[in-house]
Structure 1
Amino acid sequence: MDQSQKWTARKIRQSFLDFFEARKHDIVPSAPIVLKGDPTLMFTNAGMNQFKDYFLGNDTPKNTRVTDTQKCLRVSGKHNDLEEVGHDTYHHTMFEMLGNWSFGDYFKTEAIEWAWTLLTEVYGLDKDRLYVTVFEGDKEDELEKDQDSFNNWKKFTAEDRILNGNKKDNFWEMGASGPCGPSSEIHIDLRNDDERAKVDARTLVNMDHPQVVEIWNLVFIEFNRKADGSLEKLPAKHVDTGMGFERLCMALQGKQSNYDTDVFTPLIAKIENLSGIAYGKDEQQTIAIRVIADHVRAVAFAIADGQLPSNTGAGYVIRRILRRAIRYGFSYLNMKEAFIYQLVEILAEQMGEFFPEIQSQKQLVEKVIHEEENSFLRTLEQGLSRLDQIIAETDGKMVEGAKVFELYDTFGFPPDLTGLILSEQGYSYNQKGYDTEMTSQKERARSAGKLDTGDWVTLKDDEKEEFIGYDYTSAQVSITRYRKVVAKKKELYQLVFSLTPFYPEGGGQVGDKGLLHNDNEKIEIIDTKKEHGVIIHIAEKLPENLDAKFQAEVNTELRTDASYNHSATHLLHQALREVLGTHVEQKGSLVAPNHLRFDFSHFSKVTDEEIQQIEDLVNNRVQKNFSLEEFRNIPINKAQEMGAMMLFGEKYGDTVRAIKFGESIELCGGIHVGATGEIGLFKITHEGAVAAGIRRIEALTGATARKYVNEHIETLNTIKQELKNVKDLIAGINSLKDENSKLKKQIEELIREKAKGEKDVWVNNAIQKDGYTLIIQKTALDGGAVKDLLFQIKNENENIAAVIGVDMGDKAQIAVAFSDELAKEKGWHAGNMVKELAREIKGGGGGQPFFATAGGKDPAGIDKALEKAKTLL
């Protein structure tokens, strides 16, 4: 039997989970690929991310042994594989990480034994092709060699297959600080027998050889790296393993590339079908197909988990990945129309069993990708136009690197695409200049998002502070720990209390503000956030006496206003599903004291009539004054039985909190009103598109809503007064519009008369030259009028050559027109000529042989351009 049929991707994944379930591990679902509540990461980039709180001691696991397959994304920061993707056979943006975990339970002995048993006895991998590494120690950290791992591996394999690894390869760290420890990697040699006989595989381990690859990393977490760089022992030892699913499939299916496994072959076959280009025939086309097959996975799962493409943060990363795929299709597969969205169906069929979100969110994912493709394909055309302009502005044949970076940064043009287009026209670009600009941008991005944190200073032992904010807005507290942080060059302090009434930012609701005070001093709390399960209170200064008792008081006015908006958000969600349909799902929200914002899935504009229906439904439920029914710490299956709404992209624990107003019931951790009547008034102020398939409603409640309505009534009264108190306001406005329309027609008539006079001047001042009529003039008419006049002159006269400079005050335009006969006989090309003339006005443009235009930013250069035109003609 073919290995790829014996070991399908589905069977490989299931066998891993079954193996560890039999060894008393709980199978847990994958966390979303988009991270929430962790300021240090945009995306889940390793299997351990969802278990950070256990390693940090901020939470206690229900089971000390778990196993899973985790969606991971590595496209930014320390772990960035984006540029390698497609060019080699084993790097990916999105990949699956199979893992088993021990939280203070088993350690090196069991982890190593089970890894060897699974790989060699269950999967049947050849023992003679496996090599392992152990941490060799590090003088700087005063760490000895990991002899325990070495001794355990000796039970299963020869000593010459156990290789020493340095700190870079074999000491795993969560980040600059945090839990860490030595690791032991398992590598496999997939080369053929001849190659294996020539070169010892031990010399190729960790050398980026495409057939000698790491498949599993066993991390033994036993230290904590402090901010000052020193290490301290953790109170408990943990196991964190991660096996590359795609690489394991390559090994078990007997392939030389991840892309040849059934993880990717269905996607590749679809791309071949859509493009008409065979995989594996041409190197550049093969790379393009790999890039697209890889990138659609990352983009689709990110969107399914709630991260839409955008211009900032994580959304920008997703947009960049998708645009990279579109560019490869455009440049190398000649795909000039949207097609990547058609791959989502294949992805849902392949992975929907293990990752149900890709199946349930398929329609939304397709819609968003389709719209993004169409949008970027339009941008590509704009970028090509800008590139023409850059070429026109370039003296010589070397384009500045900064200009190439501008194309990348503004239009998403990669330097290889720009270089290809330039080379076709005999140009090249300054690579060093491009690299300088790219480095500067990365530094700016790092500086903008950088948060320098000091070590926590512990004042009192306290396992976990208690949140009492659902019942109290004030409490006596003590500070248990603090640290200094620097954000955007500003020093702040993060404080943890023994207990707290302050609600931390979450579920769309902003964090509480308030005061920390006693008889001696007052400290303003400017924000409250949650990090790794810990509620952090942010202040601009520290109390003088950190050991004192304090009263922590929430700003109840802001809190109450936020509660109006949060409860109204739940009622809005319910009303949207009733009016628009049950396909509506929350895709994001903001609950602030002064307004609310709600993003939801829907594929068309919400009509004015529907907006009114939605608003009326919410206000009706406000008037009915439904009392809050709160269900705290109920089992999640109980909440599901109650019909509670759950959000895609959120990871829920075993116990949850449910909020019920009438028939509206949702899982929610936020602050709410005691009864809906407290909301007072609900008013929608805006509805619009956020992205393909995603709409946004903005609304106000309470006093803010009343103020909004009163201001609009006042505006209407003012309009009535301006219209001399007409009884019918609409009729009065229509009368003004009619009058305005008549005046516009009169102005247009005057402009036509002026243009006619200008046309006569141009023709009368024309130069007769070698059998053709040359018109070179400067004008203040707008570009549209100039174009109309030139076409009139061409139609009325034979052998016309015209160059018109348009002075628009702060901008300039050049228009070139040739009679069709003249363009053919003399071989003149208006598009080429206008590019040459555009340099004088510091601009660019192009067009057809008989008519072309160029724009520029220097009107002072018009006279030079017209003189140059005389010389050229």
Structure 2
Amino acid sequence: MIKSRDIRKKFLDFFNEKEHAIVPSAPMVIKDDPTLMFTNAGMNQFKEYFLGNKAPKSKRVTDTQKCLRVSGKHNDLEEVGKDTYHHTMFEMLGNWSFGDYFKKEAISWAWELLTEVYGIDKDIIYVTVFEGSDSDGLPLDQEAYDFWKAIVAEDRIILGNKKDNFWEMGDQGPCGPSSEIHVDIRSAEQRAEIPGASLVNMDHPQVVEIWNLVFIEFNRKADGALEKLAEQHVDTGMGFERLSMVLQGKTSNYDTDVFTPIIREIETITSSEYGVNEQTDIAIRVIADHVRAVAFAIADGQLPSNTGAGYVIRRILRRAIRYGFTFLNQKEAFIYKLVDTLSKQMQEFFPELKKQKNIIYNVIKEEENSFLRTLAQGLLLLDTVIKENKGSEIPGDKAFELYDTFGFPIDLTALILQEKGYTLDQEGFKAALEKQKNRSRAATKVETGDWEILIDDPVEEFVGYDLLKTPVKLTRYRKVESKKEGTMYQLVFNITPFYAEGGGQVGDKGYLQSSNGDLVYIVDTKKENNLIIHLAKHLPENLYETFTAVVDSNQRERSSANHSATHLLHQALRSVLGDHVEQKGSMVRSGYLRFDFSHFSKLTSEELSAVADFVNARIKEHLPLEENRQTPYHLAIENGAMALFGEKYGDVVRTIKFGDSIELCGGTHVKNTRDIWHFIITSEGAVAAGVRRIEAITYDTAQEYFTTQSETFQRVKDALKGNSADPLKAVMTLQEENAALKKQVEQLLKDKAKGLKTELKMSLESINGVEFLATEVDLDQGSIKDLAFELGSEYDNLFLLFGSNHNGKAMLSCYISKDLVKDRDLNAGTIVRELGKLIQGGGGGQPFFATAGGKNAAGIPEALKKAKSYIQA
């Protein structure tokens, strides 16, 4: 049986022999395209070529691209595990032509590879061709049809509609007809009974699409119209996992050697058996698929989080945990144990898995432990929802609250309810979810117009390393409407001194000046598909004149100082903590810097001091910037340059060197470390399992810090008056005196409470078998609680409500004997929540003791008066 790694190699070798350059997989997490979170197709990394924003170095390329499809148009998440051929993370084998060969070669080479190299039986292959579209005014793709007709019988050519056979990048952009290749792997008897042609694109698990040949020849404009592209391109994508299934003679992707090592490990760890029970099989497939997606995402630098791409990764992992928890009876973390098997299996072609194995292992383990605690909490909350609900159906909005606030999966909620004899209002849940999505869409909706081309110049030169001011010409612009920003314009120039946001560094601001002195302010600079885009509130009056582009030099200097400091900080952390430290993210702004790095414990004060001292020593050495903008990538790495996983580097890179610190970097930097002035760490903390974060300041922000500290110190000395000769000693003396006085006050309050206790006992009123008291007391919250519990120890039928206005805050405290809670169905938490409204506040607690705080002390008397109604009924 051919092994999967050989399947991959044969594909790349085949197209390499057809004069295709083999290029590495791009990171799965996308950082410079606002339209995509993840690479969801092999063409994503070549998008700029199709858009005409960049000229390819080779007209023909081939690769295997790691992809993730879990959101948006390409959302396979809920199907994963339930069938045998959908995946979240998968490999896409592809070959591309950028204005070179077209349909004839793409079709003939695909047939040659599948039938002659891989040896797939020609009699089980079907192909589809675009039938045309009346709405777009497009006819049948006769050219592709004729090429296929010369190779296969016409009864194996199937006409496909726009949904299946017209590929589009998005609502706008390059697009074109496609031709799919399907394989029927059913038994000969099944094929004789039902023709495979009738099952193509019908989601049959054994009549599957393995390759899609896309012929990009149109551009979809903002108004929906199609225009012919100047050049024609080929973009193909073949599912590696499905191809392996076909070539290895399996009927499930999960039975191939792409997945069997992981499945065997899951069986061992969970004491389960694959292939015996459908529920167990689904759970094992889910976990086997999802651990790959999560591991590759973490290796690319994307950690699980509560927002954006990080939330998607967390959601995938939690789905896997949930299946293990429910169907494999795994109540403790176990998925992290699969990382070693995955790394050994895939590291030959994806070495980042081996390099990042420890961080992947620890992040998954911590996420598992965290969500298992959430599951336990969610079960308790669900019990509360069930108890408080009237009837057998649980409202959808309550389930949505569990889902939205605590990350409790809706399918798990439905399963638990079913086991307890309840049903879930699924429509109500969907309505609440859709309402939230609509709010999110409305807040983030962006309408983008077509580019208006003024000068047909796709090459935009960045000169901002050397110049902060230069003449420019506007080459294209487009209008963008969003609810958040309103009307904005995106401008592109022939050259630009503005640095586009990237590598963690904020984009430049500044302005354009026209010949008559009018200014157009550039409020931000970003990069999209290799274009440097300048955001402005309005357009220049004369679009065709030459402008002077001016960068805000103050912001640039601050950002450059902070960026150079991150390089020195990276070096310092590796020197102080060890070579296991690697950068996991950064944010370089003009006011501060943020640096995330791999490390598994909190830094001690001594380590923090050592790190800061290391950086400041490099600043004092006045190290000059040594910059090389044209270093071959392999040579830079051989010379010791640090490269970040998850970043996409070209064949030629820019290196930044300060002394022994050398990194690949496209950001802006100071000319000498003395320009950083001083480095001050302002905070250190955890971001995720095995990832720490340092925030720091430099340059004039550090100067302002010292000035503020000096002024504060002087005010302290002034406040100490006669004791200012030794401020530290004076402050310590004040602290000791304050602690002594606090003890005296606490004792006085305790004595006061004891005296008050006797007085309150005499005020108790018997109502319906309950000893009742609702009164206002002048005590702090701790003393009130102690008093309530002391009284409670003497009565088993006590109902107390104390009101207080201590230090300007209105408080209500309710104590109910546990017997009353049980026998009379009273709940202190519910009562204070209701009464808390009278003091314009809220609160909660346990059934026998709860508190509420508010800002309206005038409402206390009414709350005390209303308390009696709870026991009079």
TM-score (normalizing by structure 1) = 0.90
The 8 Å contact of residues 81 and 285 in structure 2, kept in 1 or not, is answered as yes
* CA separation of 1:792 and 1:293: change in aligned 2, threshold 3 A: farther
Query: In structure 2, what is the equivalent of residue 271 of structure 1?
Result: 266
**Number of aligned residues:** 851
* 442-451 or 828-837, which deviates more: 828-837
Secondary structure in 2 matching 1:41: coil
- TM-superposed deviation, 1:728: 4.2
The 8 Å contact of residues 97 and 242 in structure 1, kept in 2 or not, is answered as yes
Secondary structure in 1 matching 2:42: coil
Please give the alpha-carbon distance, in whole angstroms, between the structure 2 residues aligned to 1:657 and 1:840. Answer: 64
* CA separation of 1:863 and 1:200: change in aligned 2, threshold 3 A: farther
Please give the alpha-carbon distance, in whole angstroms, between the structure 2 residues aligned to 1:557 and 1:846. Answer: 52
Show the 5 A alignment for 1:552-567: 552-567=549-564
1:736 and 2:731 matched: no
1:253 and 2:233 matched: no
Query: In structure 2, what is the equivalent of residue 623 of structure 1?
Result: 620
1:514 and 2:510 matched: yes
* CA separation of 1:127 and 1:623: change in aligned 2, threshold 3 A: same
> What letter matches 2:509 in structure 1?
K
Q: Per-residue displacement from partner, 1:824-860 (whole Å, max 9, x unpaired)?
A: xxxx98499456984895699998xxx8667789998
The 8 Å contact of residues 348 and 359 in structure 1, kept in 2 or not, is answered as yes
> What letter matches 1:676 in structure 2?
T
1:126 and 2:124 matched: no
1:658 and 2:655 matched: yes
* CA separation of 1:338 and 1:833: change in aligned 2, threshold 3 A: farther
1:493 and 2:489 matched: yes
Query: In structure 2, what is the equivalent of residue 97 of structure 1?
Result: 92
The 8 Å contact of residues 815 and 828 in structure 2, kept in 1 or not, is answered as no
Q: Per-residue displacement from partner, 1:47-101 (whole Å, max 9, x unpaired)?
A: 1001111111222222222211111111111111112122222211111111111
Secondary structure in 1 matching 2:325: helix
- TM-superposed deviation, 1:264: 2.1
Report percent identity of matched pairs: 60
Show the 5 A alignment for 1:73-152: 73-152=68-147
Please give the alpha-carbon distance, in whole angstroms, between the structure 1 residues aligned to 2:784 and 2:320. Answer: 42
User: Which one of the candidate residues 40, 53, 57 is aligned to 1:58?
Assistant: 53
The 8 Å contact of residues 766 and 774 in structure 1, kept in 2 or not, is answered as no
* CA separation of 1:206 and 1:594: change in aligned 2, threshold 3 A: same
The 8 Å contact of residues 98 and 245 in structure 1, kept in 2 or not, is answered as yes
The 8 Å contact of residues 71 and 97 in structure 1, kept in 2 or not, is answered as yes
- TM-superposed deviation, 1:732: 3.4
TM-score (normalizing by structure 2) = 0.90
1:481 and 2:476 matched: yes
* CA separation of 1:425 and 1:741: change in aligned 2, threshold 3 A: farther
Show the 5 A alignment for 1:273-352: 273-352=268-347
The 8 Å contact of residues 516 and 551 in structure 1, kept in 2 or not, is answered as yes
Please give the alpha-carbon distance, in whole angstroms, between the structure 1 residues aligned to 2:170 and 2:824. Answer: 55
Structure 1, unaligned stretches of length 5 or more? 1-5, 820-827
The 8 Å contact of residues 841 and 865 in structure 1, kept in 2 or not, is answered as no
* CA separation of 1:264 and 1:864: change in aligned 2, threshold 3 A: farther
Show the 5 A alignment for 1:172-571: 172-488=167-483, 490-520=486-516, 521-571=518-568
The 8 Å contact of residues 187 and 212 in structure 1, kept in 2 or not, is answered as yes
* CA separation of 1:785 and 1:836: change in aligned 2, threshold 3 A: closer
The 8 Å contact of residues 468 and 499 in structure 1, kept in 2 or not, is answered as yes
Q: Per-residue displacement from partner, 1:2-41 (whole Å, max 9, x unpaired)?
A: xxxx122222222222222222222211111100111110
* 82-91 or 116-125, which deviates more: 116-125
- TM-superposed deviation, 1:729: 3.8
> What letter matches 1:561 in structure 2?
R
Q: Per-residue displacement from partner, 1:436-478 (whole Å, max 9, x unpaired)?
A: 1111222233333333211111112223122111222211121
* 836-845 or 40-49, which deviates more: 836-845
The 8 Å contact of residues 837 and 869 in structure 1, kept in 2 or not, is answered as no
Please give the alpha-carbon distance, in whole angstroms, between the structure 1 residues aligned to 2:787 and 2:414. Answer: 39
- TM-superposed deviation, 1:124: 2.5
> What letter matches 1:330 in structure 2?
F
* 518-527 or 490-499, which deviates more: 518-527
User: Which one of the candidate residues 743, 746, 761 is aligned to 1:745?
Assistant: 743
Q: Per-residue displacement from partner, 1:153-184 (whole Å, max 9, x unpaired)?
A: 22332211110000110011111111111111
Q: Per-residue displacement from partner, 1:99-147 (whole Å, max 9, x unpaired)?
A: 1112222222222122222222332223222211110111121211112
> What letter matches 2:308 in structure 1?
G
- TM-superposed deviation, 1:815: 5.5
The 8 Å contact of residues 586 and 601 in structure 1, kept in 2 or not, is answered as yes
* 543-552 or 255-264, which deviates more: 255-264
Query: In structure 2, what is the equivalent of residue 669 of structure 1?
Result: 666
Please give the alpha-carbon distance, in whole angstroms, between the structure 2 residues aligned to 1:673 and 1:837. Answer: 59
- TM-superposed deviation, 1:278: 3.0
- TM-superposed deviation, 1:185: 0.7
Secondary structure in 2 matching 1:723: helix
> What letter matches 1:271 in structure 2?
I
> What letter matches 2:239 in structure 1?
G
The 8 Å contact of residues 801 and 814 in structure 2, kept in 1 or not, is answered as yes
* CA separation of 1:692 and 1:148: change in aligned 2, threshold 3 A: same
> What letter matches 1:492 in structure 2?
M
Please give the alpha-carbon distance, in whole angstroms, between the structure 2 residues aligned to 1:427 and 1:527. Answer: 53
The 8 Å contact of residues 833 and 844 in structure 2, kept in 1 or not, is answered as no
Please give the alpha-carbon distance, in whole angstroms, between the structure 2 residues aligned to 1:817 and 1:593. Answer: 59
The 8 Å contact of residues 834 and 845 in structure 1, kept in 2 or not, is answered as no
Q: Per-residue displacement from partner, 1:378-426 (whole Å, max 9, x unpaired)?
A: 2333333433443344344433222211111111112222223334444
Please give the alpha-carbon distance, in whole angstroms, between the structure 2 residues aligned to 1:451 and 1:831. Answer: 58
Q: Per-residue displacement from partner, 1:602-626 (whole Å, max 9, x unpaired)?
A: 1111222222222222222222212
The 8 Å contact of residues 814 and 828 in structure 2, kept in 1 or not, is answered as no
Q: Over aligned residue pairs, what C-alpha RMSD do you find?
A: 3.1
> What letter matches 1:619 in structure 2?
N
> What letter matches 2:594 in structure 1?
R
Secondary structure in 2 matching 1:478: strand
1:713 and 2:731 matched: no
* CA separation of 1:516 and 1:339: change in aligned 2, threshold 3 A: same
Please give the alpha-carbon distance, in whole angstroms, between the structure 1 residues aligned to 2:354 and 2:101. Answer: 36
1:687 and 2:705 matched: no
1:609 and 2:571 matched: no
* CA separation of 1:102 and 1:166: change in aligned 2, threshold 3 A: same
The 8 Å contact of residues 484 and 494 in structure 1, kept in 2 or not, is answered as yes
The 8 Å contact of residues 829 and 849 in structure 2, kept in 1 or not, is answered as no
> What letter matches 2:262 in structure 1?
L
Please give the alpha-carbon distance, in whole angstroms, between the structure 1 residues aligned to 2:767 and 2:544. Answer: 96
The 8 Å contact of residues 835 and 844 in structure 1, kept in 2 or not, is answered as no
Q: Per-residue displacement from partner, 1:606-650 (whole Å, max 9, x unpaired)?
A: 222222222222222222212221111221122123211111111
